[in-house]
Structure 1
């Protein structure tokens, strides 16, 4: 699953179908060169991306027992 592509296409979908949302806010920020809004949007997307990747990695560690380290000192 490519979350970055989904987020990018959400902006396109909002623009094409005229659904107001965060993507439209970002497009307007680009048009009016609103740097704080662009920075906040990119920070939000970055935090979401890192958070989702962290959750997936933790779930992967929880599901796959081969990734766990034996704490008793054995191999």
Structure 2
């Protein structure tokens, strides 16, 4: 999830290290990851047993972005 978080947060500047803290857990067959970077950007990602994924990102300015990935059967 850390690599995904860098992408969701717009990527780190080349040559600059940015710390991203993540916490992941599973509940009722759903995988949940919550990540926050040094700038206060936050991403919450939920994945179900079929691999469908919803990710919501909120940046330090309060803007929200949602990405939905559905697995085709």
| TM-score under structure 2 length normalisation | 0.24
User: Which protein has greater RCO, CA pairs closer than 8 Å, 6+ apart?
Assistant: 2
Q: TM-score, normalised by structure 1?
A: 0.23
> Hey, which of these two has a bigger chunk of strand by percent?
2
Over alpha carbons, which structure has the higher Rg? 1
